[in-house]
Amino acid sequence: MSTAVQQAAIPFSPSESQLAVAYSVCRGIARSAARNFYYAFLLLPPAKRRALCAVYAYMRRCDDLADDANIPVQKRKQKLAEWLDAVHRSLAGYPTDDAVLLALVDTQRRYKIPEILLDQLAYGTAMDLEQNIDADGQAGAIQVQYRTFDDLHLYCYRVASVVGLVCIRIFGYRDAAAEPLAEKLGLAFQLTNIIRDVKEDAAIGRIYLPQEEMERFEVRPSELTARKAPLRLRSLLAAQGDRARGYYAAGRELIPLIDEDCQPALWVLLTIYSKLLEKIAVRQYEVLRGKIRLSARAKLVILGKGFLKRLT
Protein backbone atom coordinates (compact mmCIF):
# COMPACT_ATOMS: atom_id res chain seq x y z
CA MET A 1 0.00 0.00 0.00
CA SER A 2 2.85 2.36 0.79
CA THR A 3 6.57 2.55 0.14
CA ALA A 4 9.43 2.97 2.61
CA VAL A 5 10.50 6.52 3.39
CA GLN A 6 14.10 7.53 4.02
CA GLN A 7 14.71 9.05 7.44
CA ALA A 8 14.84 12.85 7.48
CA ALA A 9 18.34 14.27 7.89
CA ILE A 10 17.10 16.61 10.63
CA PRO A 11 13.94 15.18 12.26
CA PHE A 12 11.13 17.67 12.69
CA SER A 13 10.41 18.55 16.30
CA PRO A 14 7.11 20.31 17.03
CA SER A 15 6.83 22.88 19.81
CA GLU A 16 5.07 22.14 23.07
CA SER A 17 2.20 24.41 22.05
CA GLN A 18 1.82 22.58 18.72
CA LEU A 19 1.66 19.26 20.53
CA ALA A 20 -0.83 20.59 23.07
CA VAL A 21 -3.17 21.68 20.26
CA ALA A 22 -2.64 18.39 18.39
CA TYR A 23 -3.51 16.26 21.42
CA SER A 24 -6.53 18.48 22.09
CA VAL A 25 -7.81 17.80 18.56
CA CYS A 26 -7.36 14.05 19.07
CA ARG A 27 -9.14 14.21 22.41
CA GLY A 28 -12.09 15.89 20.70
CA ILE A 29 -12.21 13.16 18.07
CA ALA A 30 -12.13 10.43 20.71
CA ARG A 31 -14.75 12.13 22.87
CA SER A 32 -17.18 12.52 19.97
CA ALA A 33 -16.67 9.14 18.29
CA ALA A 34 -15.06 6.61 20.63
CA ARG A 35 -18.17 5.93 22.73
CA ASN A 36 -17.26 2.79 24.72
CA PHE A 37 -13.53 3.45 24.56
CA TYR A 38 -13.72 7.00 25.86
CA TYR A 39 -15.30 5.92 29.14
CA ALA A 40 -12.20 3.83 29.83
CA PHE A 41 -9.87 6.64 28.69
CA LEU A 42 -11.17 8.80 31.56
CA LEU A 43 -9.49 6.53 34.12
CA LEU A 44 -6.03 6.71 32.55
CA PRO A 45 -3.22 8.97 33.77
CA PRO A 46 -3.27 12.19 31.66
CA ALA A 47 -0.22 11.37 29.50
CA LYS A 48 -1.47 7.87 28.68
CA ARG A 49 -4.97 9.21 28.04
CA ARG A 50 -3.57 11.67 25.50
CA ALA A 51 -1.62 8.88 23.82
CA LEU A 52 -4.68 6.63 23.53
CA CYS A 53 -6.66 9.52 22.06
CA ALA A 54 -3.93 10.02 19.43
CA VAL A 55 -4.02 6.35 18.46
CA TYR A 56 -7.80 6.39 18.33
CA ALA A 57 -7.80 9.51 16.10
CA TYR A 58 -5.40 7.73 13.73
CA MET A 59 -7.65 4.68 13.56
CA ARG A 60 -10.69 6.92 13.07
CA ARG A 61 -9.02 8.62 10.11
CA CYS A 62 -8.28 5.23 8.53
CA ASP A 63 -11.89 4.11 9.03
CA ASP A 64 -13.36 7.34 7.69
CA LEU A 65 -11.28 7.14 4.53
CA ALA A 66 -12.35 3.54 3.91
CA ASP A 67 -16.02 4.05 4.74
CA ASP A 68 -16.86 7.25 2.82
CA ALA A 69 -19.71 6.00 0.66
CA ASN A 70 -19.70 9.26 -1.34
CA ILE A 71 -16.36 8.32 -2.89
CA PRO A 72 -15.81 5.41 -5.33
CA VAL A 73 -14.01 2.47 -3.78
CA GLN A 74 -10.89 2.86 -5.95
CA LYS A 75 -10.62 6.49 -4.87
CA ARG A 76 -10.93 5.45 -1.24
CA LYS A 77 -8.06 3.01 -1.74
CA GLN A 78 -5.97 5.82 -3.20
CA LYS A 79 -6.78 8.18 -0.33
CA LEU A 80 -5.95 5.51 2.23
CA ALA A 81 -2.60 4.86 0.51
CA GLU A 82 -1.87 8.61 0.48
CA TRP A 83 -2.73 8.81 4.18
CA LEU A 84 -0.35 5.95 5.00
CA ASP A 85 2.38 7.65 2.97
CA ALA A 86 1.85 10.79 5.05
CA VAL A 87 2.07 8.68 8.22
CA HIS A 88 5.36 7.15 7.08
CA ARG A 89 6.82 10.55 6.20
CA SER A 90 5.87 11.93 9.60
CA LEU A 91 7.30 8.91 11.42
CA ALA A 92 10.50 9.38 9.40
CA GLY A 93 10.87 12.89 10.79
CA TYR A 94 9.47 15.06 8.01
CA PRO A 95 7.38 18.09 9.07
CA THR A 96 3.59 18.01 9.09
CA ASP A 97 0.82 20.35 10.16
CA ASP A 98 -1.74 17.55 10.54
CA ALA A 99 -2.81 17.48 14.21
CA VAL A 100 -3.46 13.72 14.22
CA LEU A 101 -0.02 12.98 12.79
CA LEU A 102 1.73 15.36 15.19
CA ALA A 103 0.14 13.59 18.17
CA LEU A 104 0.57 10.12 16.71
CA VAL A 105 4.30 10.55 16.03
CA ASP A 106 4.88 11.95 19.52
CA THR A 107 2.99 9.00 21.02
CA GLN A 108 4.85 6.47 18.85
CA ARG A 109 8.20 7.85 20.00
CA ARG A 110 7.30 8.18 23.68
CA TYR A 111 5.92 4.66 23.99
CA LYS A 112 8.15 2.95 21.42
CA ILE A 113 5.23 1.60 19.41
CA PRO A 114 6.54 -0.48 16.48
CA GLU A 115 5.65 1.18 13.18
CA ILE A 116 4.52 -2.16 11.78
CA LEU A 117 1.62 -2.15 14.24
CA LEU A 118 0.40 1.20 12.93
CA ASP A 119 0.74 -0.15 9.39
CA GLN A 120 -1.27 -3.25 10.29
CA LEU A 121 -4.15 -1.08 11.49
CA ALA A 122 -4.30 0.64 8.10
CA TYR A 123 -3.94 -2.67 6.24
CA GLY A 124 -6.91 -4.04 8.18
CA THR A 125 -9.04 -1.06 7.20
CA ALA A 126 -7.99 -1.55 3.57
CA MET A 127 -9.31 -5.13 3.71
CA ASP A 128 -12.81 -3.65 3.87
CA LEU A 129 -12.25 -2.31 0.37
CA GLU A 130 -11.42 -5.69 -1.15
CA GLN A 131 -14.88 -6.39 -2.49
CA ASN A 132 -16.80 -6.53 -5.76
CA ILE A 133 -16.66 -3.25 -7.67
CA ASP A 134 -19.31 -2.28 -10.22
CA ALA A 135 -18.78 -0.34 -13.47
CA ASP A 136 -19.08 2.99 -11.65
CA GLY A 137 -16.38 2.10 -9.15
CA GLN A 138 -18.84 1.60 -6.31
CA ALA A 139 -19.18 -1.41 -4.02
CA GLY A 140 -21.05 -4.28 -5.62
CA ALA A 141 -23.75 -6.50 -4.20
CA ILE A 142 -23.73 -7.80 -0.63
CA GLN A 143 -21.13 -10.51 -0.21
CA VAL A 144 -19.48 -12.63 2.46
CA GLN A 145 -16.04 -11.21 3.13
CA TYR A 146 -14.32 -14.32 4.52
CA ARG A 147 -14.63 -18.01 3.76
CA THR A 148 -13.50 -19.44 7.11
CA PHE A 149 -12.93 -18.19 10.64
CA ASP A 150 -9.19 -18.45 10.02
CA ASP A 151 -9.65 -15.99 7.12
CA LEU A 152 -11.69 -13.68 9.35
CA HIS A 153 -9.06 -13.98 12.06
CA LEU A 154 -6.49 -12.03 9.99
CA TYR A 155 -8.93 -9.16 9.57
CA CYS A 156 -9.79 -9.16 13.28
CA TYR A 157 -6.10 -9.32 14.15
CA ARG A 158 -5.34 -6.23 12.10
CA VAL A 159 -8.27 -4.05 13.13
CA ALA A 160 -8.59 -5.19 16.76
CA SER A 161 -5.80 -7.40 18.11
CA VAL A 162 -3.22 -4.90 16.88
CA VAL A 163 -5.10 -2.22 18.79
CA GLY A 164 -4.61 -4.31 21.91
CA LEU A 165 -0.89 -4.64 21.20
CA VAL A 166 -0.60 -0.86 20.77
CA CYS A 167 -2.62 -0.19 23.92
CA ILE A 168 -0.52 -2.36 26.20
CA ARG A 169 2.59 -0.50 25.07
CA ILE A 170 0.95 2.67 26.30
CA PHE A 171 -0.42 1.02 29.44
CA GLY A 172 2.97 -0.49 30.23
CA TYR A 173 3.77 -4.17 30.87
CA ARG A 174 6.79 -6.30 31.68
CA ASP A 175 5.55 -9.86 31.18
CA ALA A 176 5.60 -11.02 27.54
CA ALA A 177 2.51 -13.12 28.30
CA ALA A 178 0.54 -9.87 28.03
CA GLU A 179 0.91 -9.80 24.25
CA PRO A 180 -1.09 -12.92 23.26
CA LEU A 181 -3.70 -12.01 25.87
CA ALA A 182 -4.05 -8.52 24.36
CA GLU A 183 -4.49 -10.09 20.93
CA LYS A 184 -7.28 -12.34 22.22
CA LEU A 185 -9.06 -9.49 23.97
CA GLY A 186 -9.03 -7.54 20.72
CA LEU A 187 -10.70 -10.52 19.05
CA ALA A 188 -13.39 -10.53 21.75
CA PHE A 189 -14.16 -6.86 21.13
CA GLN A 190 -14.26 -7.29 17.35
CA LEU A 191 -16.51 -10.35 17.46
CA THR A 192 -18.88 -8.44 19.72
CA ASN A 193 -18.94 -5.60 17.18
CA ILE A 194 -19.57 -8.06 14.33
CA ILE A 195 -22.53 -9.59 16.16
CA ARG A 196 -24.03 -6.23 17.12
CA ASP A 197 -23.53 -4.60 13.71
CA VAL A 198 -24.43 -7.52 11.43
CA LYS A 199 -27.41 -5.71 9.85
CA GLU A 200 -25.64 -2.36 9.56
CA ASP A 201 -22.62 -3.99 7.89
CA ALA A 202 -24.76 -6.05 5.52
CA ALA A 203 -26.59 -2.89 4.47
CA ILE A 204 -23.32 -1.55 3.02
CA GLY A 205 -22.44 -4.85 1.38
CA ARG A 206 -20.20 -6.38 4.06
CA ILE A 207 -20.68 -9.69 5.86
CA TYR A 208 -18.08 -10.64 8.46
CA LEU A 209 -19.64 -13.96 9.47
CA PRO A 210 -17.55 -16.79 7.96
CA GLN A 211 -19.17 -18.27 4.87
CA GLU A 212 -18.67 -21.88 5.88
CA GLU A 213 -20.40 -21.20 9.19
CA MET A 214 -23.28 -19.43 7.46
CA GLU A 215 -23.66 -22.49 5.26
CA ARG A 216 -23.57 -24.79 8.28
CA PHE A 217 -26.42 -22.85 9.91
CA GLU A 218 -28.19 -22.44 6.55
CA VAL A 219 -28.17 -18.63 6.76
CA ARG A 220 -28.49 -16.70 3.50
CA PRO A 221 -26.83 -13.27 3.04
CA SER A 222 -30.20 -11.67 2.23
CA GLU A 223 -31.51 -12.65 5.67
CA LEU A 224 -29.05 -10.30 7.40
CA THR A 225 -31.03 -7.24 6.32
CA ALA A 226 -34.46 -8.63 7.22
CA ARG A 227 -36.73 -7.07 9.83
CA LYS A 228 -36.47 -10.07 12.14
CA ALA A 229 -33.67 -12.55 12.68
CA PRO A 230 -34.63 -16.16 11.91
CA LEU A 231 -33.73 -18.74 14.53
CA ARG A 232 -30.97 -20.08 12.27
CA LEU A 233 -29.25 -16.69 12.26
CA ARG A 234 -29.62 -16.27 16.00
CA SER A 235 -28.03 -19.68 16.51
CA LEU A 236 -25.12 -18.66 14.28
CA LEU A 237 -24.64 -15.42 16.23
CA ALA A 238 -24.84 -17.32 19.52
CA ALA A 239 -21.95 -19.50 18.32
CA GLN A 240 -19.93 -16.34 17.67
CA GLY A 241 -20.87 -15.10 21.13
CA ASP A 242 -19.57 -18.30 22.72
CA ARG A 243 -16.32 -17.83 20.80
CA ALA A 244 -16.03 -14.25 22.03
CA ARG A 245 -16.55 -15.30 25.66
CA GLY A 246 -13.48 -17.49 25.47
CA TYR A 247 -11.45 -14.51 24.36
CA TYR A 248 -12.89 -12.30 27.12
CA ALA A 249 -11.54 -14.81 29.64
CA ALA A 250 -8.05 -14.10 28.25
CA GLY A 251 -8.69 -10.39 28.70
CA ARG A 252 -9.34 -10.85 32.39
CA GLU A 253 -5.94 -12.55 32.68
CA LEU A 254 -4.37 -9.51 31.01
CA ILE A 255 -5.48 -6.95 33.61
CA PRO A 256 -2.91 -7.81 36.34
CA LEU A 257 -0.09 -7.89 33.77
CA ILE A 258 -0.32 -4.20 32.81
CA ASP A 259 0.85 -1.25 34.91
CA GLU A 260 -1.33 -0.70 37.96
CA ASP A 261 -2.31 2.84 36.99
CA CYS A 262 -4.07 1.49 33.87
CA GLN A 263 -5.74 -1.61 35.29
CA PRO A 264 -9.03 0.14 36.20
CA ALA A 265 -9.32 1.57 32.68
CA LEU A 266 -8.87 -1.84 31.06
CA TRP A 267 -11.36 -3.32 33.53
CA VAL A 268 -13.95 -0.70 32.51
CA LEU A 269 -13.43 -1.33 28.81
CA LEU A 270 -13.61 -5.12 29.19
CA THR A 271 -16.68 -4.86 31.41
CA ILE A 272 -18.56 -2.54 29.04
CA TYR A 273 -17.96 -4.79 26.05
CA SER A 274 -18.65 -8.08 27.84
CA LYS A 275 -21.89 -6.69 29.30
CA LEU A 276 -22.87 -5.53 25.81
CA LEU A 277 -22.43 -9.10 24.59
CA GLU A 278 -24.52 -10.43 27.47
CA LYS A 279 -27.27 -7.90 26.74
CA ILE A 280 -27.35 -9.17 23.15
CA ALA A 281 -27.52 -12.73 24.48
CA VAL A 282 -30.41 -11.87 26.82
CA ARG A 283 -32.28 -10.61 23.76
CA GLN A 284 -31.55 -13.99 22.15
CA TYR A 285 -29.33 -12.42 19.48
CA GLU A 286 -32.24 -10.57 17.88
CA VAL A 287 -30.00 -7.82 16.44
CA LEU A 288 -31.98 -7.03 13.29
CA ARG A 289 -34.76 -5.04 14.96
CA GLY A 290 -32.45 -2.29 16.16
CA LYS A 291 -28.91 -1.68 17.36
CA ILE A 292 -28.35 -2.96 20.89
CA ARG A 293 -26.35 -0.68 23.17
CA LEU A 294 -25.60 -0.26 26.84
CA SER A 295 -27.32 2.83 28.19
CA ALA A 296 -25.25 5.83 29.26
CA ARG A 297 -26.40 5.13 32.83
CA ALA A 298 -25.10 1.55 32.69
CA LYS A 299 -21.74 2.77 31.38
CA LEU A 300 -21.53 5.42 34.10
CA VAL A 301 -22.19 2.78 36.76
CA ILE A 302 -19.30 0.73 35.36
CA LEU A 303 -17.13 3.86 35.19
CA GLY A 304 -17.94 4.63 38.83
CA LYS A 305 -16.82 1.14 39.86
CA GLY A 306 -13.65 1.72 37.85
CA PHE A 307 -12.95 4.91 39.78
CA LEU A 308 -13.33 2.98 43.04
CA LYS A 309 -10.82 0.43 41.81
CA ARG A 310 -8.43 3.28 41.01
CA LEU A 311 -8.75 4.63 44.57
CA THR A 312 -8.26 1.31 46.36
Which of 126-130, 184-188, 288-292 has the weakest average pLDDT? 126-130
Which of 83-87, 142-146, 170-174 has the weakest average pLDDT? 142-146
Q: Is the Cα torsion angle 200, 205, 208, 214 positive or negative in sign? A: positive
Share of the chain above pLDDT 70, in %: 95
Share of the chain above pLDDT 90, in %: 79
- The 10s digit of each residue's pLDDT in 188-225 is 999 999 999 999 999 888 899 999 999 999 999 999 99
Q: Which conformational region is residue 20 in: left (phi greater than 0), alpha (psi within -120 to 50 degrees), or beta?
A: alpha
Average pLDDT of every residue of the chain: 91
| Domains and their CATH numbers in the chain | 11-131 (1.10.600.10), 141-312 (1.10.600.10)
- The 10s digit of each residue's pLDDT in 106-136 is 999 999 999 999 999 999 999 988 764 443 4
Mean pLDDT of 1-11: 74
The confidence band for 35, taking pLDDT boundaries of 50, 70 and 90, is confident
